[in-house]
Amino acid sequence: MKSRSTNIATKYRDEYMFTRELPRGAENPGTQSSNLSTSTQLTLATARPPVDITNVDEEVQKVLDGLSGKQSKARATKKVKQPTRDLVLAAADKASRQLNDDQATAAAAGQHLVRKRNYEPVKPEWHAPWRMMRVISGHIGWVRSLAVEPGNKWFASGSVDRTIKIWDLASGTLKLTLTGHISPVRGLAVSARHPYLFSCGEDKQVKCWDLETNKVVRQYHGHLSGVYTLALHPVLDLLVTGGRDSVVRVWDIRTKQQVHVLAGHKSTISSVQCQEADPQVISASMDSTVRLWDLAAGKSMTTLTHHKKSVRALALHPTQFGFASASSDNVKQWRCPKGEFVQNFDQGNGSIINSLAVNSDGVVFSGADNGSMRFCDWKSGHCFQETETIVQPGSLDSEAGIFCSTFDQTGFRLITGEADKTIKIWKEDDEATEDSHPIDFRPSLSRRRH
């Protein structure tokens, strides 16, 4: 008897799962109509409203329990309630809903395509425009390198005239001239932990100057060609240099020994940067790549190949864990430690960018060969000011190039070294407001992902 009741319930469920109106005589399970055609049995209901299945789950469960013999002994002798049309349809709808839930779970697990969110551009922060504050003359050659002292009292400049000059930052007066290189001075760095100034040049020499005696106390030999860039490790006593021999060399400042020779680039090293956390060394090369190095292992962690042209400049953000790289195609922002691409800054006119600098307020400066200057917002990549440098009277228009730049320790002054043999100091316009210089932000609907 138990199996017969189960078979009857299963038959009704399978036969009338997708019908809304049962044939005449089918509502009473005891009477069978043999004269009904197949088309009559599959007629859909149009007149009767759909059944509310929220209150019939309990009844369906009771019927199924009764058919499976789960009734109590006290009710075992009673007649089992036969499944009606409404209960059968409710059970079918419940199974259909369960199937839809399973399909939705599979779609969420990534088995189907999911529509991406629309790109929402980041609104840029307002920055005051920058204007020229002072012009410093003294070199008789292109100014190729700059470095600001950690105390923010003076800065050093290296030139093609083979000299290093020390200038007072507040007044712009010359304090000292250091001679010793026999070729253009291409890189400078002032130590925050020692009274040392480091310099490198196209004469393959890397020198360590004692600022108390103003003399060379150490020289680091090993480069096979001109040395174009150098950087100091902020915590360890290490000096990192790079040049035309396509390798990055890591030196112990005290012993003058090479700790690592980081090989991998295929062309000239144009810029290196050091930071406290991994990647502790970042290098840019003329082979259009940027490499992140594992200093402990002496191997390359990541190679960034997004640029299409030579990468000539790198800049670390003072407070955020990221950096920017500059090429003639564009300026790109990256996130450490894996070197994840963040965004492109607003495109320029395709000029060769020689210099890049970032301050703590999120202002990104880029200087180019043709004298163009662009100030961008770090957060959004929006260029809020585009101008050109002013050449010294008597200079040619071709001498408007910018070779190097750096912000002072406060970030309120920008120092640039240029092809007209001058050093220019820039500052923000104190009288500018958001009303006088509003943000001209015109975002595009698309975003470049590389």
- Torsional class of 223: left (φ above 0), alpha (ψ -120 to 50), beta (otherwise): beta
Residue listed under structure tokens 């990647």: 279
Count, residues in the chain? 450
Q: Residue 267 is encoded by which pair of tokens?
A: 């062309």
- CA-based torsion, 339, 264, 253, 153: positive or negative: negative
Contacts (Cβ under 8 Å, ≥6 apart) of 401:
354, 368, 369, 370, 371, 418, 419
The answer to whether the CB of 346 falls within 8 A of the CB of 383 is yes
Lowest mean pLDDT among 58-67, 87-96, 117-126, 380-389: 58-67
Alpha-carbon distance values, 299 to 234, 264, 369 (Å) = 20, 9, 33
Query: Over the stretch 201-259, which tens digit does the pLDDT of each residue have?
Result: 999 999 999 999 999 999 999 999 999 999 999 999 999 999 999 999 999 999 999 99
Query: Over the stretch 164-185, which tens digit does the pLDDT of each residue have?
Result: 999 999 999 999 999 999 999 9
What distance in Å separates the CA atoms of residue 23 and residue 37, rounded to the nearest whole number? 10
The answer to whether the CB of 407 falls within 8 A of the CB of 316 is no
The answer to whether the CB of 330 falls within 8 A of the CB of 356 is no
pTM of this prediction?
A: 0.73
Q: Residue 264 is encoded by which pair of tokens?
A: 């991998």
Asked if residue 62 has pLDDT above 70, the reply is no
